[in-house]
Structure 1
Amino acid sequence: MDIRGELRYRSLYWYNDGLRKAKIRDLTGAENSLKKSIQFDKYNKDARNLLGLVYYGRGDVTRALVVWTVSLKLVPADNIASDYIDEFKSSRGDLEAVDQTAKKYNQCLQYCRQGGEDLAVIQLKKIVTEHPDFLKAYQLLALLYLHTEQYAKARQVLRKAQKLDTTDPITLNYIYELNRMHRKRTSGQKDVKEQQTVSYKLGNETIIQPVETKEREKGMAFTIANIVIGLVVGAAVMWFLIMPAVNESQARQMNESIVEASDQIASQESEISALEKELESYRTQSDEAQTAKETAESTKSSYESLMDIQTKYRNGSESNENLADELLAINQDCLGDLGKEQFTELTESIYPSACRRQYNRGVANSDVENYEAAIENLSKVVRMDETYDDGNAMYLLAQAYEETGDTENAKNYYQKVTEQFSGTSLAEEAQSALESLNAAGSGNTGE
């Protein structure tokens, strides 16, 4: 084998190693392996693109864009990096969100330097809520919790950070420090407990008991004696003096109440029956009015959303991907004929490019086994166009549901593929997957 072949072989070896680690969320290990792969072959576009996805999976979008840009520059032909970059360029909202997140994170660092840990914690909570893949934000939030001795919250945040990257050294260092502090606190509590006890040996056994004094024992004895005497005296007074009078008064009042209640029951029964009929009438009218009100509000909201989307599309102020999300939220049943015609025109103009971006994103997330994100992407594609990519979108969605353990949704989409694309190889694969799930379900029921 010549030297070029040797370098290419080593590059592929480290790429496969990086891919294997990325699939188990060992993103730090994947990053190191992919960098080695690129060192042996800088034109290995697959390694560069996967490295970009690794950075993206840790919330470092800026580095991901840089890696994809370099990959496209070195290998411009047939490179999926162009799709990744086009998605960000066409979606101003994503770019602005990344920029705002970076500014917020830098502001948190400034708060920490100025002693404003509380403000930094509040800001970081918002960041991780809006961007749950931002690893550095989790790490800084955990560090602040450690600094303020909120160890339970620090442990929760570090668990989330470790799920994003199982071998990140910063996360592991913080976990080690948290465990060290826990052991130190546990040891301190044990010392205090030992100071409150006394131990001595009896034969071959060691006896441990609390430290007690004679004064404490005497005080306890007097307290118990006083309580017992008080209970006895109180019970005697209650039994001989109070209870007879109370029983006589209660009996008299009960007889009077029974007579009065008997007189009222007859008249109240007729009044209750009339009120129930009147109340039922009011409820029926109220339900009808509420239904009409909700229908009118839904129709108004749908038309307003449709007009707003049409304006944004003409002005080019929003990306097609964002407009597609807004279109999916519209209730078409509330639109009239003209509204449905406008809705169809917009979907024909907007859905194709939105489907392509969401589909590419779903495929990429499936490749790194981020199935929850893949389901989110591919579900939108299927809602826009069930037949997209000759049924492959629906088939990949079924696979993603199967990987997350949602067998009901997986079966549903496998069944749709077999019905809508019968006679194709894709339908045969879907049928095979469906039969395997049914067989597995039958086996579990038998057990």
Structure 2
Amino acid sequence: MDLKQEIRSFTPIDIEKLSQEKNVSENVVDSVKGYNKAIENLRTGSEDIAMIELKKVVSVNPDFYDAVNLLGLCYAYTNQIDKAQELFSRVADAEVDSVKAAEYLNYIGRGSASGKSVGSSKTVKSEAKPQKPAPKTKYAKPKQASNEEVQAEYILLRNLGLQLKKPSVAITINILSVICLVAAIAVFMVNYKNTNGDNGPDTVVNTELTAKYNKVVAENEKLKKDLNAANFQLKQVQLSSQLSQVSTLYGQYKYIEAADKLLAIPEKDLSADNKKKYDSIKANVLKNAANQLTIEGTSLYNKKKYKEAIQKLEKVFTLGTKWSFGDKALYTLGKSYVAANEPQKGAEAYNRLISDYPDSAYVKYARSRLQSLQ
């Protein structure tokens, strides 16, 4: 592997495109800028400055694995093998970029084991002496696995280990083991009973087996309950995270997005604590979302985008009814339907306005427009 060429294969990240993505913090953008500066410095031969930049990036964002890999290559290039191995191992233990990191680890491991420098020092070519062909032996040596095969096996075993660490997976495996054991005992009891009958000393053996069987069944039931409890707890953690996302969107004045995410949460599945949190934010989220939809719908109507206005204004009343601004939403909705050549639906909106908001200032205008539709 040519380390210098490998380092040059890293390319800068498009900052402008990254900045346009949602939920990208300034911290991430700054880290990417530092990463890009490091790549520029490496291309101009300023490895020391590049390494300083990369150290800053990795210290702030340790999960920025491209930066970690690149810093590891810089360490390897400057023959700081221990530091390089530490960084590559960190990436190899993560979920992403582990193939490259494992490849780098394998490479610098071979170099350090042979006592050769893997960095920037030049290698001296030696004249190859003709060697006698090795005598044929009766048994061929087993083929050694390639680097790719070793890396693939490493990743497979690591991912399997990560799965086995999950509580739900471990509990499921235990339950399956118990079920297999119960089935084996049941088959043994049936066969034993058919062979020996129910009389004599064998009855004592059957009694003991029955007791063991019942004990295993009880343990199996307990494991099932534990699994259900673990799954419920996991579900609540996920729902709590979704509620936190709703609160974050609400704090960012993204009321419509917050309402959509809130209504996607299955209310019946919430625990008492999560239900309390859900109820505490629901009213404000839906009210502000409905108000924002009314404003956007009115704006679209004024721009003569009637179909889009209808979509916004209809959604106002999927979030709730009897809004304080509902009369305005219904009046604009009626006008939008009429302008979109759907007078019947427009009349329905006007009639609903008159019925639901009899004291509204918009009522007389709605009646006037109804008369013009007749």
TM-score (norm 2): 0.31
> Higher helix share goes to which structure?
1
